[in-house]
C-alpha cells in the first residue's frame, strides 16, 4: 500500500499532510518523517488526515509517540480532518481524548492551547 507524506510550515506549526493507508507496512515512513522534524526542532505538528483512508493500531502508535516526544519538548500534536473510518478508530481506541482532533486543518493550525492539557 502506498503512503505519501508532505510537510509545510504554516504560522507556528508544521502541517504534515498524510495520504494513503496507515498500517504496519507504511507507518515506518511517517515515523521517519516525524523523527526528521523533531531532530530539526519542529515540535508543533498538525497532521492533515483528510487523505488517510485507513489507520490501524500501528498507525495510532506513531501519533502517540509523536505526542510523547512533542510534550517533552513543549510542543503540540494535533490531528485534522480525519475521514469517518479514521475518526471511528480514534473514538473506539479512546485516543481522541489524548490526540486533539479538529474538523479542519485551518482550525487545527489556529487552535489555542488550553492552559492545562
CA distance 20 to 48: 12
Binds another protein (CB under 8 A): choice among 68, 73, 103, 107: 68
**Contact window for another protein (CB under 8 A) among 4-12, 36-44, 61-69, 105-113:** 61-69
CA distance 62 to 56: 10
**If binding means CB under 8 A, how many residues of this protein chain bind another protein?**
23
CA distance 91 to 2: 25
- Residue 65 in the binding site for another protein (CB under 8 A): yes
Q: How many residues does the chain have?
A: 117
Question: Nearest-5° angle of CA 29, CA 32, CA 20?
Answer: 25
Identify residues 38-57 at the interface with another protein (CB under 8 A): 53-54, 56-57
The set of cell numbers assigned to 17 is 499532510
Identify the CA nearest to 42 among candidates 82, 70, 84, 2: 70
- Residue 97 in the binding site for another protein (CB under 8 A): yes
**Contact window for another protein (CB under 8 A) among 3-11, 35-43, 85-93, 102-110:** 85-93
The footprint of another protein (CB under 8 A) covers 23-25, 53-54, 56-58, 60-62, 64-65, 68, 85, 88, 91-95, 97-98
Amino acid at each position: 500500500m502506498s503512503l505519501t507524506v508532505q510537510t509545510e510550515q504554516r504560522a507556528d506549526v508544521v502541517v504534515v499532510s498524510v495520504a494513503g493507508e496507515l498500517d504496519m507496512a507504511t507507518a515506518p515512513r511517517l515515523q521517519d518523517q516525524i523523527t526528521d522534524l523533531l531532530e530539526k526542532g519542529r515540535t508543533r505538528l498538525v497532521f492533515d488526515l483528510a487523505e488517510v483512508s485507513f489507520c490501524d493500531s500501528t498507525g495510532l502508535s506513531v501519533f502517540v509517540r509523536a505526542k510523547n516526544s512533542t510534550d517533552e519538548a513543549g510542543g503540540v500534536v494535533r490531528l485534522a480532518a480525519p475521514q469517518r473510518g479514521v475518526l471511528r478508530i480514534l473514538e473506539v481506541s479512546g485516543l481522541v481524548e489524548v490526540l486533539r482532533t479538529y474538523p479542519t486543518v485551518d482550525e487545527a493550525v489556529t487552535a489555542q492551547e488550553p492552559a492545562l492539557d
